Amino acid sequence: MKLGFIGLGIMGTPMALHLVNAGHELFVHTRSALPEAIAATSATACGNAAEVARNADIVFTMVPDTPDVEAVLFGANGIADGLIGAATRKTVVDMSSISPMATKDFAARINDLGADYLDAPVSGGEVGAKAATLTIMVGGDEAVFARVKPLFELMGKNITLVGGNGDGQTTKVANQIIVALNIAAVGEALLFASKAGADPAKVRQALMGGFASSRILEVHGERMIKRTFAPGFRIKLHQKDLGLALQGARELGVALPQTAGAAQLMQACAANGLGELDHSALVRALELMANHAVAQEG
């Protein structure tokens, strides 16, 4: 198939590699330098998003935030420009994590241009992107989903059509709420244990065998103890996602008090210059308040 991929960052690069390595003809565009891993493949670099859309039948986007998606879709030389006058019906698949409300508007505008639209945000981080084990949460038409699903299967394992356009993004926001609160819970537990004089590594080992066990305790608990905060998913991006959750909560008239608390912890990290670290470094905000670290650096 002729595929397009726009946004070749930490997540987008390995996702695009899975597509081109499966034998598909790939057209790519990214605002930064073309990653060496992509340049070494048969992928064709395009000068802008419109050029990608003109060449590809299905275009994937993976960019940081709602304004970035809007610019890629509808800005100068955007995907929309490449859809005008297309001889065949094309499909746009946004795999970014953005506003569910904006997504519904974007989908309607793309549909008006005679193209299909799926919102398909992912969970699993850089590790899942590289291993092709991402969880993919999809919103859109069932027939369009069925057509694109074989491509999703090259990038992920748990692939679910949740509902119509916007429902994939709503699911991703819910995912980010759960992950953030779990990181905060693990951080508080390990901080409490360490301050009380217990070995946090052994506490974590013991908890892994009980009801408190979780993927967050396994992966991010280890990061907190070993102080390995190189980004798999940056605090500033998770902070953006929690902002979407709280914005949606205001629009829906519901209270999300624990989400608001986690967002404030991430804000404290950002205020202390830690926004580029992995979101497991949320524990640093707790440590600053306690004047105690879960474990010593190094």
Phi then psi for 87, rounded to 5 degrees? Answer: -75, -30
The pairing of beta strand 116-119 with beta strand 44-45:
unpaired
3-class SS at 266? helix
What is the C-alpha separation between 74 and 79, in angstroms, rounded? 7
* CA neighbor of 281 nearest in space, from 244, 242, 232: 232
Say if CB 134 and CB 128 are below 8 A apart.
Answer: yes
- CA 298 from chain centre, in angstroms, equals 29
Burial 89-99 (b: 16+ CB within 10 A, else e): ebbbbbbbbbb
Say if CB 40 and CB 47 are below 8 A apart.
Answer: no
- Across-strand partners of 5? 28, 60
What's 295's DSSP letter?
S
* Catalytic-role residue among 90, 130, 157, 172: 172
Say if CB 120 and CB 85 are below 8 A apart.
Answer: no
- CA 20 from chain centre, in angstroms, equals 21
Is 149 noted as a catalytic residue in this protein?
no
- Across-strand partners of 135? 123, 158
Phi then psi for 226, rounded to 5 degrees? Answer: -85, -5
Which amino acid would we find at residue 234? Answer: R
85: left (phi over 0), alpha (psi -120 to 50) or beta: left
Active site residues: 172
